[in-house]
Amino acid sequence: MRDLEISNQELSDIAEEALGLAKSYWASLEGRRAYPSTTGEDTAELFSRPWLENGRGREILQDFKSIAEHARPGTGRFFGYVVGSGEPIGALGELLAAVLNQNVTSWRSAPAATSIERAVVGWLAEAVGCAGFTGSLCGGGSMANLMALAMAREAKLPANETGVQPCVVYASEQVHMSIPKAVALLGIGRKICA
């Protein structure tokens, strides 16, 4: 048997153990602090390990407990970031999506996932008064900002054929950190104009 192959029974056992860890974590959320009692030094020491030639096998699941003790729980007591709720139903949905392992680049690659994405984008567009608009879902705000700036640049000063042309991005000093990163990645330049 190859190293990455496991029997159906062993996979079932590991899945049960992983689900047990998740259920224990969900049951503990009410008593967890909004931010963990930890330091950068503590977490670096805990998670800095040498690369192993051979995997740790099923034992690796026990790291979940340490990770959970040093993670900010996704509950209604913290509104600092816009992240998924961590709700059990959402997590199980992500599990099932990961099982399918779809690459949603186009319909031919993932017919069902692409059709679902189009429907969700349609619902979101309608919800903000933009019925009929299209787009793509992103994995987070940083990627969404990069995509938005790339689309805006291509609409006004196309760079894909001839290279980046000088342009200006207006933002306040309070701009999210993802905007300067996106500007740099797009080759627009980060020189601040007064």
Interval 95-129: pLDDT, tens:
898 899 888 888 899 999 999 999 999 999 999 99
CB 144 within 8 A of CB 155: no
Q: What are the domain boundaries of the chain?
A: 8-100, 103-137, 141-185
φ/ψ (deg, to 5) at 153: -60, -45
Exposed, middle or buried: residue 161 (CB in 10 Å: 0-12, 13-18, 19+)?
exposed
Helix 141-156 and helix 178-185: axis angle, to 10°?
Answer: 50
pTM: 0.69
The C-alpha R_g of the chain, in whole angstroms, comes to 22
What pLDDT sits at residue 102? 87
Find all residues with CB under 8 Å of 31, minimum gap 6, and list them: none
Q: Rounded to an integer, what distance in angstroms lies between the CA atom of residue 138 and that of residue 144?
A: 6
Q: Compute the mean pLDDT over every residue in the chain, rounded to the nearest whole number.
A: 87
